[in-house]
Amino acid sequence: MKRDYPEHPIIGVGAVIVEGGRVLLVRRDTEPLRGEWSVPGGMLELGEKLRDGVRREALEETGVTVEPGEVLDVFDSIFTDGLGKTQYHYVLIDYLCRPISGEARAGGDVSDVRWVSLEALPAMGLRESIEQVVRKGLKRAGS
């Protein structure tokens, strides 16, 4: 499926991986968020169940095996080009996840991974929607 200038929105899944009051973030190495910090995740594959997609994407991008829990958020991520045409359109479903095994390392479509505390979030320069879901995940995991 074509990711840029798609005919239909693309379903994506995200893993808000929380352990010990920290969240695992990845630095994107592909567009549309190249160079930005985000949660691990990506496009759902045809025939793949949502939670299986979360597990796969987390493992591919971070080397960490996770167990997805509750859905934290569902939102649109739409990017337009200079002419106002929709270049990317994702419907993203982010899950709160707990790590089961593995050591965090960059893989797949990311250039770096980092465990980040709540206090360090502002310095990461996250998009508002990403920071909100990360804060929600940290809060839920701490409850």
> Per the confidence metrics, is the pTM higher than 0.85?
yes
* Helices (H), ranges, 8-110: 50-62
pLDDT in tens, 12-57: 999 999 999 999 999 999 888 899 999 999 999 999 999 999 999 9
Beta carbons within 10 angstroms of residue 130's beta carbon = 25
Per-residue confidence (pLDDT) for residue 76, from 0 to 100:
93
Helix (H, G, I), strand (E, B) or coil at 98: strand
The DSSP bridge pattern shows strands 10-19 and 41-43 to be antiparallel
Q: Which domains does the chain have, with CATH numbers?
A: 10-138 (3.90.79.10)
pLDDT in tens, 59-95: 999 999 999 999 999 999 999 999 999 999 999 999 9
